[in-house]
Chain A
Amino acid sequence: MSGPRVVVTGIGTVNSVARNASEFAGSLRDGRCGIAPLDYSEEAPVRAAAQVGDFEWPAHKGLKNAPRSARLSAAATAEAIEQSGLGSSGGDRERIGLLVAGSNLHQELVVDGVTQFIEEPAWLNPRYALTFLDTFQVGLLTEMFAIHGPSFTVGGASASGNVALIQAFHSIRSGLLGACVVVGASADITPVELQALATIGAASPGSSRPFDASRDGFVWGQGSGAVVLETEDSARRRDAHVLAELSGGAIFMDGNHLTDSSRAGEARSMTKTLDVSGLVAANVEYLNAHATASRMGDETECAAIRDVFEGSLDTLFVNSTKSLIGHCLSAAGVIEAIACILQMEGGFLHPNLGLDDPIDDALRFTGARAEEVPVRTAMSNGFGFGGFNTSIILKASPVE
């Protein structure tokens, strides 16, 4: 596929181990873990989460009484836009779009609203009419940053972040947009969702140990991430610093509405991504795995990685950011893309915490400490319930 190169000129994140991208780089290198006890009730099946504590969000009227997820999105987006120099005025604002990755982002607010409604409908907060919609965030962020190009939410379950990055990539490549802000929104989930996720065996009671024989599911992580993508020319015109290139991405659907992962489907999203990027498997030096620490999911992903990278497994490092910040659900893809960029920039690969007994001897996982490795080409996987298989490839700056 031809078209202009798509580059990253701004990144921002707030998560359980960082209030901004530079803090995140330090936490990744140090292998800081954001998982802490979660006290809902004695009987709750899930007893830990990687939550964001206090954080600052931009001063904006629309953020007063806004859902936590919207404040997290605003903080990450403000950081990314500031770094990119895109600002909130100037240039052709109709050529800038904004995608919010994720669905059902304000569940906490929904549960509170339902509780109030059962108690006394007349006292339901009227703001609920705006904030129960995920697109509240699209409206808010486009207002804050004067963005007037096509903007919307993008849903792909836990692959939402990658789906949105891939949608933005194609929108820029095709010429529809000159720049696009991709926001991985934090999912404000509640004990209701955690109960169901624990019952089906997806959520762990309290530890995140991707690729370890003792893994027992994912730990929910709060957090948001934002990246500014644009054409290389657009970045040059503003004299913006290029952090990385998004060289391609692909989505492959299994055709399955359930939770099952598919070795063939995952392999297909990785090979399609290599094709779109004009690369072969041996060019990729690092894989940021989806690896949620699910029993079946991690095993399936290892098998798919072996299928795709057979012949170059010795030169491919693999880790999972979810061992540090939990599974950030709809935001995971964007935060993990940011983790790839920060690791390439810093010349290191972050540890895989909790990996004492690796489930696959053929794969080269990072250990308990960061590896000092220069990486120029990284792949990041994102899979989701409903048969979503997605991968993207990021290349280090300077873009060659």
Chain B
Amino acid sequence: MESNEQRVFEVVRSKVLDVLDVSAELITPETSLVDLGANSIDRAEVAITSMEELGLKIPRSEFAGVSNLEALVKLFCFHLGEGEAG
């Protein structure tokens, strides 16, 4: 993972720990929130609180294809990049 992705991943990891009772080592890029026992509200909470910390606003529809944490991190990084370009 690139350093920017690593930083975003750490944000997501900390939000997962806030929302779910799981040990930190289980939270890897390959894991999905469903694998970690998250329900739909938990998943939305991880996404929204991560966006808040990263200063992002991403439409709900863009999360449709996200199947694991790596994809979530890439989505966030894509929008962070857009922000920098703009």
Chain A positions near chain B (C-beta within 8 angstroms) = 61, 64-65, 120, 122-127, 129-130
Q: Check if B51 sits within 8 Å of A127, measured CB to CB.
A: no
A131 to chain B, nearest CB (A): 10
Known pairs A64-B21, A126-B41, A126-B45; list 8 more (Cβ under 8 Å).
Answer: A64-B20, A65-B19, A123-B48, A123-B52, A125-B49, A126-B48, A129-B41, A130-B41
Query: How far, in Å, is B8 (CB) from chain A's closest CB?
Result: 17
B44 contacts A by Cβ under 8 Å: yes
Contacts A64-B19, A64-B21 given: A125-B51 contact, CB under 8 Å?
no
Min CB distance, A119 to chain B, in Å?
10
Chain B residues whose CB sits within 8 angstroms of the CB of A124 once the complex forms = 48
Question: CA separation between A127 and B18, bound complex, in Å?
Answer: 13
Q: Which of B1-40 touch A at CB < 8 Å?
A: 18-21
12 A-B pairs, CB-CB below 8 angstroms? A64-B19, A64-B21, A120-B57, A123-B49, A123-B51, A123-B52, A123-B57, A124-B48, A125-B49, A127-B41, A127-B45, A130-B41
Chain B interface size, as a band, is: 10 to 19
Q: Which residues of A contact B18 (CB under 8 A)?
A: 65
B52 contact set on A, CB distance < 8 A: 120, 123
The majority secondary structure among interface residues of chain B is helix
A126: nearest residue on chain B (CB-CB)?
B44
A127 to B20, CA, bound (A): 13
Q: Please report the C-alpha to C-alpha distance between residue A98 and residue B81 in the assembled complex, in whole angstroms.
A: 52
A125 & B21 in contact (Cβ 8 Å cutoff): no
Q: Which residues of A contact B20 (CB under 8 A)?
A: 64
CB contacts (< 8 Å) of B48 on chain A: these are 122-126
When the two chains form their complex, are residues A122 and B57 in contact, meaning their CB atoms are under 8 A apart?
yes
Bound Cα distance A83, B52 (Å): 44
Closest to B43 in A: A126
Cβ contacts under 8 Å, A120 to chain B: 52, 57
B58–chain A nearest beta-carbon distance, Å: 9
Q: Considering the chains assembled together, what is the distance between the CA atoms of A122 and B41 in angstroms? A: 15
With A and B bound together, what is the CA distance between A127 and B49 in angstroms?
11
Whole-angstrom CA separation of A122 from B45 in the bound complex: 12
Give the CA-CA distance A125 to B44 in the complex, in Å: 8
Smallest CB separation, B50 vs chain A (Å): 10
Instruction: Find the B residue at minimum CB distance from A121.
Output: B57
Complex contacts, A122 vs chain B, CB 8 Å: 48, 51, 57
Q: Which residues of B contact A64 (CB under 8 A)?
A: 19-21
Complexed CA–CA distance, A130 and B19 (Å): 15
The 10 A-B residue pairs whose C-beta atoms are closest, nearest first, are A126-B44, A123-B52, A122-B57, A127-B45, A126-B45, A126-B48, A127-B41, A126-B41, A123-B48, A125-B45
Q: Which residues of B contact A130 (CB under 8 A)?
A: 41
Q: How far is the CB of A115 from chain B (nearest CB, A)?
A: 13
Q: Is the CB of B21 within 8 A of A61?
A: yes
CB-defined contacts of B49 to chain A, threshold 8 Å: 123, 125
Give the shortest distance, in Å, between A64 (CB) and chain B (any CB): 6
Bound: A60/B58 CA distance, A: 31
Note all chain A residues with C-beta closer than 8 A to B19: 64-65
Q: What is the bound-complex CA distance between A176 and B44, given in angstroms?
A: 39
Q: Which residues of B contact A129 (CB under 8 A)?
A: 41
Q: What is the bound-complex CA distance between A246 and B6, given in angstroms? A: 61
**Would you give the shortest CB distance from A364 to chain B, in whole angstroms?**
53
Residue numbers in B under 8 Å from A65 (CB-CB):
18-19, 45
Q: In the bound complex, how far is the Cα of B49 from the Cα of A61, in angstroms?
A: 18
Closest to A130 in B: B41
B13 to chain A, nearest CB (A): 16
Within 8 A of A (CB), among B51-79: 51-52, 57
